[in-house]
Structure 1
Amino acid sequence: MTQSWIPREPVRPRPDASAVMGLVFGLPAFVSSLVVVGLLPSLLWPGRTWVLWLVIGLWLASGALTFLPAVESLLARAMFDMRAPSVGEMTRLAPPWERVCAAAGVDGRRYSLWVEQSRELNAFAAGGRTVAVTRRALELPPRALEAILAHELGHHLSGHSRVSLLAWWYELPARASIFLVRWAVRLVLMVGNVFARFGSGAGALASVLLALLLVFGLVVLNPWLLLMPLLSPLLAWSSRLGEYRADATAARLGYGPALVDVLSGWLAAERGKRSLRVRMLASHPSTSDRIRRLHGTR
């Protein structure tokens, strides 16, 4: 048995620059949600300051619930279409995971292994302890499976998965307000279209003005929403840096060549070049860039 996977020293879990940038660039979404959460009790119970602070306090504390094992398992099943591995799948998945964790010097038992219901070759880390692979990933040779697991462990050790879950959780009220206003605008414009078909130009104009008023009102009440699309490229950039960092962690654990082999298979399946907009908003860097950087770590 080879011992090349044993590291010189354990990998210490600590947030890296990309995780910190994810928090910083996600602040406008957080503040936008805070405004939404604060508006609700102000409208429903005007003048009752204690209700306002109670609702805000409960919402702020709710983020900690996402890291409870039961809540994280519920989110894994409901949001990501994941399931617990079968006995046969666990037999194939557990030994590579144990070897990766041994290489990093961490306790693999604190993480929860899942299988995503997808035939694509993929894996991802979520929350504080979730590591998932697709069914096709389980068909990989052991060394290749270890390589992608090492990449996902790198996300956990660098704090990427925790930051992503918190950002997703705390931006839900802001995104819900955008969704509701967008739905209301569409409904108003549909009514205006009906007026227009029956020859009522005044009704159609009124619907357009009302739709603009709804959008204007949302922006006036919550101007932080304007920063969310503006910071999307920066959030995507920080996410791409996190992918590079996770690749570097896998390479440090001795899985660089195996990860290059896996990525080379993905590169062969890629077709065409991505537009500038797609590249700016992509959460993952191009496969060729990842391979090039991994070659540089050897």
Structure 2
Amino acid sequence: MEGTWIPREPRRGVRPDASAVLGVLFALPALVSSAVVVALVARLIWAAPWVVWTVVALWVLSGAVTFLPSVESLLARGMFDMRRPSTVEMTRLGPLWESVCATAGVDSARYVLWVEQSRELNAFAAGGRTVAVTRRAVELPARALEAILAHELGHHLSGHSRVSLLAWWYELPARASIWLVGLATRAVLLVGRVFARFGSAAGALASVLVSLVLLVGLIALNPWLLLMPLLSPLLAWSSRLGEYRADATAAGFGYGPALVDVLSGWLAAEHGRRRPWRVRMLASHPATADRIRRLRAAR
């Protein structure tokens, strides 16, 4: 019947979707750059080729540590300023989360609830177990909060959060090299300005040349930087696909109307502001109106 939301068959287990697969593909250039950085560092410490290959292999295997609950909890506390729910918050969140997981046909004990120290209305999924809501989200009406939790569960069931964490982990060496070279470049340019201030044109020119050498070396280590103008909008696009999928998953569990109500409230708060095309192209979330339109079309 038109206008009636028909829950779909609950999906069990993680089934990576197009967004997750694209996230892996778009992360490969940074992963290769990180492998080159790790190999270079290993080569500087110990020149034997077998040592270099062993270090790189161990680094690749190190991604498994992100699957450890203790590591994920440490990252949740340290990176996102999150805490475990208080007794009062857990009294409210716990039954709603149990209801969402029962509807989805998954084990609620596989996930850990967190509260982010923010007064904004938000929620997100991270890693393989983390489901977080802000303090303000905890205050939402029960059905609205359930819909948001179902959306975050959708991210987990489609593999989005796990792929994001692994991509972040494997990008660390590449990002560290960028940070170190950037720091060194700023230091060299600072020395060059000192030379220029005291009238040494040769010293200032030398600092510029050294900076250029550092930047060329950085690009040689991280050729994916040249792809960033292309990769950035593609990564944002794949993230938006993930949001649509998480919305569709929540709707499939029967939370479509409640999710539309939540999104309609967000749309009203935006006061009809239209984002510039560049912002829309690089946004990790689709326009709220588009999400509502897709949810309503899926009825």
Shorter-chain TM-score above 0.5: yes
Aligned position for 2:231: 231
Deviations 1:56-96 (A, max 9, x none): 12211111110111111111111111111111110000111
Query: Which residue pairs with 1:291 in the alignment?
Result: 292
DSSP-derived class of the 1:18 partner: helix
Secondary structure at the aligned position of 1:171 is classed as helix
**Which whole-Å CA distance do the structure 2 matches of 1:130 and 1:5 have between them?**
28
After superposition, give the CA deviation of every residue in 1:150-183 in whole Å (9 maximum; x if it has no partner): 0000000001011000011001111111111111
> Are the equivalent residues in 2 in contact too, given 1:236–1:282 (CA < 8 A)?
yes
* Alignment-mate amino acid for residue 181 of structure 1: V
Match of 2:38 in 1: 37
Q: CA deviation at 1:197?
A: 1.9
Query: Structure 1 residues 161 and 221, CA, compared in 2 at 3 Å: closer, same or farther?
Result: closer
Structure 2 partner of 1:127: 127
Contact 1:9 1:105 in 2 (8 A): no
Q: Identify the residue that residue 75 of structure 1 maps to in structure 2.
A: 75
Task: State the distance in 1 between where 2:81 and 2:252 align.
Answer: 31
Q: Are the counterparts in 2 of residues 83 and 115 from structure 1 also a CA contact under 8 Å?
A: yes
Native 8 Å contact 1:28 1:228 kept in 2: no
Judge which range, 261-270 or 6-15, deviates more.
Answer: 6-15
2:10·2:252 contact (CA, 8 Å) conserved in 1? no
Q: How does 1:1-298 map to 2 (within 5 A)?
A: 9-12=9-12, 13-46=14-47, 48-270=48-270, 272-298=273-299
CA deviations 1:5-47 (Å, max 9, x no partner) are 995532133000110011011110111111111110111212x
User: Is the contact made by 2:16 and 2:159 (CA closer than 8 Å) also made in structure 1?
Assistant: yes
Change (3 A) 1:256 1:129: same
* 233-242 or 192-201, which deviates more: 192-201
Change in Cα spacing, 1:221 to 1:93, as seen in structure 2 (3 Å) is: closer
User: Deviation digits for residues 227-271 of structure 1, max 9, x if unmatched?
Assistant: 344311111110000000000111111111111111122122226
* Shift, 1:192, TM fit: 1.3
How far apart, in 1, do the equivalents of 2:182 and 2:276 lie?
27
Distance between the aligned counterparts of 1:105 and 1:209, measured in 2? 62
Q: How many residues align?
A: 294
Identity %: 78
- State the alpha-carbon separation in 2 of the partners of residues 136 and 51 from structure 1: 51
Q: Is the Cα contact below 8 Å between 1:192 and 1:203 reproduced in 2? A: yes
Identify unmatched segments of 5+ residues in structure 1: none
Q: Which amino acid aligns with 1:57?
A: A
Secondary structure in 2 matching 1:26 = helix
Does the 8 Å contact 2:20/2:159 carry over to 1? yes
- Between the aligned partners of 2:259 and 2:6, the Cα distance in structure 1 is 17
The CA distance in 2 between the partners of 1:172 and 1:130, in whole Å, is 21
Q: Is the 8 A contact 1:5 1:253 kept in 2?
A: no
Tell me the amino acid that sits aligned with residue 274 of structure 1: R
Q: Distance in 1 between matches of 2:26 and 2:193?
A: 39
Q: Which amino acid aligns with 1:136?
A: R
Whether the 8 Å CA contact 2:193–2:204 is kept in 1: the answer is yes
Please, which runs of 5 or more residues in structure 2 have no aligned partner?
A: none
Asked if the contact 2:30–2:222 (Cα under 8 Å) also holds between the matched residues in 1, the reply is no
Q: Give, in angstroms, the shift of residue 205 of structure 1.
A: 1.5
Q: Name the amino acid aligned to 1:210.
A: V
CA RMSD of aligned residues (A): 1.7
Q: Is the 8 A contact 1:97 1:146 kept in 2?
A: yes
C-alpha contact (below 8 Å) 1:19/1:160 kept by paired residues = yes
